[in-house]
């Protein structure tokens, strides 16, 4: 009989469910790599971002300041000369917690929406600053430098007199400004990693359109692209696209076709079901990209509109995936994309993803699941786990450990358990569910449940 301990470990990541769900399962947890693991050059496993369903149920606490969390340093109004604008421009820059000028970091460039500025997303206590700090603290993303771009790209003295139409075309110039002027400035002034595998771009609304345009115009420089409810001026949408400056396409001949060597590592778009402007355009971009054979993950999400409430959900998803799709190597030119194997667990209408442990037990389970999926009848035991009998035995690597919520454990070589509470005993850990928290017990369901295990 296993010994029940009285120690209860409550995981820090307790997400409050918002009730706004998308097409995808609200309980499908997006994989995240700890900052320590993500920066290790010896790490061999990387994730396949398209295999992970995005979440749109992230609670408000993830966007608030918490005691004991280092939110990094915001450098405001950093000036650089833009040859594209013919004038100085400014940007805001977020340096991550633990920033070390002797280390090198990947960089994400962020476009604001129409009429916004370079302080909209990155500023003291702004939603993206707080979200990123909380995620990095919890090991849900990797250390990076985030640059908030000012899309206005003309003489600064003229800005106050510009009409909306003039602003639209000034914003188009930011597509070149980022690649030609801003990126070289950042790479010269800050310790950044070179290469498209270390460069991401994102934006919302008009900024989402500019993000898509920049990523597809400069694919040799940018490897990760995200557009949240992008405006309808990337490619022609519908027959009347020339009727308004809002919809005149930047790419008049459609999306440039990526080559095998510069296809995005990850391309993400999303739009809310209550968005008043950009549902048709976003889904049209998706369809055209699919026809071109360009892989993308595009979500049409129930319940959200065209505002920061939605943008911050999208940024959560994007931050769990950027810079985690390429295997680190000393020779950057030899870098190639590989796929991480994850344990997919389906139970009680919920889907979870778990990281395998590095031991022979996990490898043996992977080998079994490569052949066929595994479905077990699992029942509660001891008030801390669900347990089911395996149809075969696996090699054990037992050690004395204390479990926590989300641990997938091999017991006696022929039983598989999912822990939702703590216990200390000799057994083998084979996997760990991502983002597991105190709600895991209720998500697994009461009594005996059927649990399906597959590999992805």
CA 149, 152, 155, 161 dihedral sign is: negative
Residues 429 and 407: beta-carbon distance below 8 Å:
yes
Rounded distance between C-alpha atoms, residue 104 and residue 79, angstroms? 22
Fold of 342-455: Cyclophilin (2.40.100)
Tokens 């100085």: give the residue. Answer: 88
Rounded distance between C-alpha atoms, residue 452 and residue 209, angstroms? 40
pLDDT at 37 over 50: no
pLDDT at 51 over 70: yes
Q: pLDDT value at position 454? A: 94
- Ranking 22-26, 158-162, 277-281 by mean pLDDT, the lowest is 22-26
Fold of 35-334: Rossmann fold (3.40.50)
Output the six-digit token pair for 238.
């519908």
pLDDT digits (tens, 9 = 90+) for 173-230: 999 999 999 999 999 999 999 899 999 999 999 999 999 999 999 999 999 999 999 9
How close are the terminal C-alpha atoms of the chain, in Å? 34
Confidence of residue 95 (pLDDT cuts 50, 70, 90): very high
Rounded distance between C-alpha atoms, residue 91 and residue 112, angstroms? 11
* Alpha helices per DSSP H over 320-408: 360-371
| Mean residue pLDDT across the chain | 88
Rounded distance between C-alpha atoms, residue 15 and residue 18, angstroms? 9
Confidence of residue 340 (pLDDT cuts 50, 70, 90): low
Rounded distance between C-alpha atoms, residue 96 and residue 87, angstroms? 29
CA 114, 129, 203, 190 dihedral sign is: positive
Residues 207 and 112: beta-carbon distance below 8 Å:
yes
Q: pLDDT value at position 125? A: 96
pLDDT at 117 over 60: yes
Output the six-digit token pair for 130.
């707080």
pLDDT at 385 over 90: yes
Residues 109 and 149: beta-carbon distance below 8 Å:
yes
Task: Count Cβ neighbours within 10 Å for each residue of 364-396 and write b for 16 or more, e otherwise.
Answer: bbeebbeeeebebebebbeebbbbbebeeebeb
Output the six-digit token pair for 331.
């020779």
Rounded distance between C-alpha atoms, residue 429 and residue 357, angstroms? 7
Closest CA to 188 of 81, 97, 264: 81
- CA 455 to chain centroid: 21
Residue ranges covered by each domain of the chain: 35-334, 342-455
Distances (CA, A) of 340 to 43, 136, 301, 318: 11, 21, 27, 17
pLDDT at 132 over 80: yes
Output the six-digit token pair for 55.
């979440």
Q: pLDDT value at position 113? A: 98
pLDDT at 318 over 60: yes
Q: pLDDT value at position 10? A: 30
Q: pLDDT value at position 341? A: 83
């Amino acid at each position: 009989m296993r010994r029940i301990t009285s120690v209860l470990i409550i995981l820090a990541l307790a997400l409050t469910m918002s009730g706004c769900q998308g097409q995808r399962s609200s309980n499908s947890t997006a994989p995240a790599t700890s900052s320590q693991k993500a920066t290790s050059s010896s790490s061999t496993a990387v994730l396949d971002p398209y295999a992970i369903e995005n979440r749109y149920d992230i609670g408000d606490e993830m966007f608030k300041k918490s005691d004991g969390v280092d939110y990094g340093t915001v450098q405001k109004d950093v000036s650089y000369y833009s040859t594209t604008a013919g004038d100085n421009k400014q940007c805001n820059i977020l340096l991550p917690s633990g920033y070390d000028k002797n280390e090198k970091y990947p960089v994400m460039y962020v476009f604001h929406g129409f009429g916004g500025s370079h302080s909209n997303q990155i500023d003291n206590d702004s939603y993206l600053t707080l979200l990123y700090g909380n995620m990095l603290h919890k090991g849900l993303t990797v250390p990076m430098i985030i640059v908030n771009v000012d899309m206005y790209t003309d003489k600064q003295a003229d800005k106050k007199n510009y009409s909306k139409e003039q602003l639209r075309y000034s914003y188009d110039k930011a597509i070149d400004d980022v690649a030609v002027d801003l990126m070289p400035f950042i790479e010269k002034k800050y310790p950044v990693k070179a290469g498209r595998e270390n460069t991401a771009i994102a934006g919302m609304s008009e900024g989402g359109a500019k993000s898509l345009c920049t990523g597809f115009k400069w694919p040799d420089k940018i490897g990760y692209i995200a557009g949240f409810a992008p405006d309808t001026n990337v490619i022609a949408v519908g027959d009347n696209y020339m009727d308004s400056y809002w919809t005149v396409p930047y790419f008049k001949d459609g999306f440039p076709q990526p080559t095998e060597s510069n296809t995005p590592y990850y391309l993400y778009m999303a739009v809310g079901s209550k968005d008043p402007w950009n549902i048709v355009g976003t889904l049209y971009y998706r369809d055209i990209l699919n026809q071109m054979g360009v892989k993308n993950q595009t979500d049409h999400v129930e319940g959200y509109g065209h505002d920061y409430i939605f943008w911050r959900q999208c940024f959560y998803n994007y931050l769990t995936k950027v810079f985690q799709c390429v295997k680190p190597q000393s020779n950057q030119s030899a870098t190639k994309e590989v796929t991480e194997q994850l344990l997919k667990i389906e139970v009680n209408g919920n889907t979870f993803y778990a990281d395998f442990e590095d031991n022979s037990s996990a490898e043996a389970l992977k080998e079994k699941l490569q052949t066929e999926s595994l479905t077990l009848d699992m029942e509660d035991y001891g008030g801390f786990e669900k347990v089911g009998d395996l149809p075969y035995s696996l090699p054990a690597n037992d050690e004395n450990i204390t479990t926590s919520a989300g641990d997938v454990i091999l017991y006696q070589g022929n039983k598989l358990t999912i822990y939702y509470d703590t216990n200390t005993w000799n057994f083998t850990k084979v996997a760990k569910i991502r983002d597991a928290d105190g709600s895991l017990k209720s998500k697994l369901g009461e009594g005996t449940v059927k649990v399906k295990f597959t590999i992805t």
